[in-house]
Amino acid sequence: MIQMMILKKLEDPNTNKLIGSIIELDIDKIEVNPYQPRTNFNEESIKELADSIKALGIIQPITVRKLDRNKYQLVSGERRFRASKSINLETIPAYIRIANDQETLEMALVENIQRRDLDPIEIALSYQRLTNEINLTQNQLSERVGKQRSTVANYMRLLKLDPIIQTGMRDGFLSMGHGRALINIEETEKQLEVYEKIVSQGLSVRATESLVKNSKENTSELKTIKIQTELYKSTKSDFEAYFNTKITVKGNEKEKGSIQIHFDSHKELSQILKKINLED
C-alpha–C-alpha distance, residues 27 and 159, integer Å: 36
Output the pLDDT for position 256: 77
Q: If you ran DSSP here, which 8-state letter would residue 277 be given?
A: T
| 195 three-state secondary structure | helix
3-state helix, strand and coil shares in percent for the chain, rounded to the nearest 5: 60, 15, 30
The sheet with strand 30-31 has its strands ordered as: 22-26, 91-97, 62-68, 71-76, 30-31
C-alpha–C-alpha distance, residues 258 and 145, integer Å: 61
Residue ranges and CATH numbers for the domains of the chain are 1-100 (3.90.1530.10), 227-275 (no CATH)
C-alpha–C-alpha distance, residues 125 and 251, integer Å: 49
Output the pLDDT for position 248: 84
Output the pLDDT for position 2: 33
Residue 215 CA, distance from chain mean position? 22
Residue 220 CA, distance from chain mean position? 25
Dihedral sign from CA coordinates of 183, 174, 78, 116 = negative
C-alpha–C-alpha distance, residues 108 and 37, integer Å: 7
pTM of the model: 0.52
C-alpha–C-alpha distance, residues 195 and 211, integer Å: 10
Output the pLDDT for position 51: 92
Output the pLDDT for position 26: 92
Output the pLDDT for position 280: 53
Parallel, antiparallel, or unpaired for β 91-97 and 71-76? unpaired
**Is 78 considered catalytic here?**
yes
| Helices and strands in the chain: count of H runs, count of E runs | 13, 7
Q: Which of 24, 31, 43, 78 is catalytic?
A: 78
Residues 6+ apart with CB under 8 A from 70: 29
C-alpha–C-alpha distance, residues 266 and 44, integer Å: 89
C-alpha–C-alpha distance, residues 58 and 84, integer Å: 9
Per-residue pLDDT of the chain (280 residues; tens, 9 = 90+): 333 333 333 444 444 445 567 889 999 999 887 766 566 677 888 899 899 998 888 888 988 888 877 788 888 888 899 999 999 999 999 988 776 767 776 776 776 676 666 788 988 888 888 888 778 888 888 888 888 899 989 999 999 999 999 999 988 889 999 999 999 888 888 889 899 989 888 889 998 888 888 876 655 544 555 555 677 778 888 888 888 888 888 776 667 788 888 888 888 888 888 877 755 5
Q: If you ran DSSP here, which 8-state letter would residue 239 be given?
A: H
Phi, psi dihedral angles at 23 (to 5 degrees)? -135, 165
Q: If you ran DSSP here, which 8-state letter would residue 199 be given?
A: H
For residue 71, which of 148, 164, 152, 9 has the smallest C-alpha distance? 9
Neighbours of 18 (CB within 10 A): 17
Output the pLDDT for position 83: 92
| DSSP notation for 257-268 | EEEEE--SSHHH
